[in-house]
Amino acid sequence: MVLQGIRTILMWLFVTVILLLIVLLPRGNPQVDPAMSRVDQVKQYEESITTFSWKDYGDNISSIVTYAWENKSLGTTKYTHSVEYEVWRYVKKSLWLIIPSFIISAVVGLLKGVYDFNVKTRRYDPLGKPTTVFFLSVPDFFLLLFIQVAIITLSSYGLPHISLYGSEQASNKIVSIIFLSIYPTFYIARLTFASLEQQASQDYIRTAMSKGTGKRKIVWRHMLSNCWLSIISHLNTIMLYILSNLFVVELITSYRGAAYSFYKALSVRSTFAIGADQSIQTALVIEFIVVFTTIVMLTQIVSKIATGIMLQRGGMDEA
């Protein structure tokens, strides 16, 4: 278990370093001579961003490392706040979405998987497996837009107004949590259903049924106890889905969280404009990358620890 934890940390370190090296690639000098004409400024800017220099690359890396080491910080933002303060301020807002979505996905997904398994013999049940397949098949982006349009349309017919955009009201968080939980929930439902299907063919299930044990007791006490390992091992996948959807959800709902701020810090104007910021906010991008990859790493470590504990208990039970 310790060895697996070390491997996870090393993998996190490798991936994080690679991403940071990509961010620190030189993009030329976005500063131009303001005394020149607009045409000459555009020409100077375009020439500067199309050149690559290994010396500039090395300077970018050494300068950011040296500054961080000497100041124990990556600097300040244009709002005179420290980069660390700014990043943590947005990360806290996103954690109000990430943590509830993670819990809801795991719990509701498990219940939905059990429900799909219990009603699989029915001739037709629209709330069963067809619903799970549907929500896993529809792209998240279109599904979120459809729900938004439906809520706005229904509000014009008397449905109480629900604030869909922003991050200050409770409804903003609730709607974003629901959006984030949709795909991971049905992913866990499909995983739970597949695990129960696999367990259903085992000899101990047939033995329990022949003794007259109720189906509900068999599912919840016996079958699920042997499915936990498969479900827990996918906790990292759930978090990856949530983080990847976080960018879409925060952009669509204008939720000012970490993903939204990361996107804004990373975005670069496609055309030159006098006086406008033409480069990415490198310090903010670096800190956001470290935060997101750390969340994934911690989830993976927890998943591996829980998996190891369950395997040890299983071994002791068999002994």
* In the chain, where the domains are located: 87-318
Lowest mean pLDDT among 30-44, 54-68, 114-128: 30-44
Lowest mean pLDDT among 138-147, 238-247, 248-257: 138-147
- Residue 99 pLDDT > 90: yes
Please work out, in degrees rounded to the nearest 5, the angle formed at the alpha carbon of residue 169 by the alpha carbons of 163 and 170: 95
Q: What pLDDT does 1 receive?
A: 63
Summarised one tens digit per residue, pLDDT across range 195-210 is 888 877 777 777 777 7
Alpha-carbon distance of 196 to 290, in angstroms, equals 37
> Chain-wide mean pLDDT for the chain?
81
Comparing C-alpha atoms, which of 249, 128, 111 is closest to residue 188? 111
- Identify the architecture of domain 87-318 in CATH: Orthogonal Bundle (1.10)
Is residue 38 pLDDT above 80, yes or no?
no
Tens-place pLDDT, residues 286-317: 999 999 999 999 998 888 888 777 767 654 34
Q: What pLDDT does 277 receive?
A: 52
Q: Pick 39 or 178 by higher pLDDT.
A: 178
Helix (H/G/I), strand (E/B), else coil: 76:
strand
pLDDT at 84 over 80: yes
The least confident of 158-172, 184-198, 219-233 is 219-233
Average pLDDT over residues 69-94: 87
Q: Which residues share a beta bridge with 82?
A: 76
Residue burial 103-115, b: 16+ Cβ < 10 Å; e: rest: ebbbebbbebbbb
| Euclidean distance between CA atoms 66 and 56, whole angstroms | 15
Helix, strand or coil, per DSSP, at residue 216: helix
Q: List Cα–Cα distances, 28 to 44, 129, 280, in angstroms.
A: 10, 53, 12
By mean pLDDT, which of 22-31, 69-78, 186-195, 225-234 is the weakest? 22-31
- Per-residue pLDDT tens over the stretch 144-185: 888 888 888 877 777 777 777 887 888 888 889 998 999 999
Cα separation of 314 and 318, whole Å? 6
Q: Please report the pLDDT score of residue 74 as a whole number.
A: 86
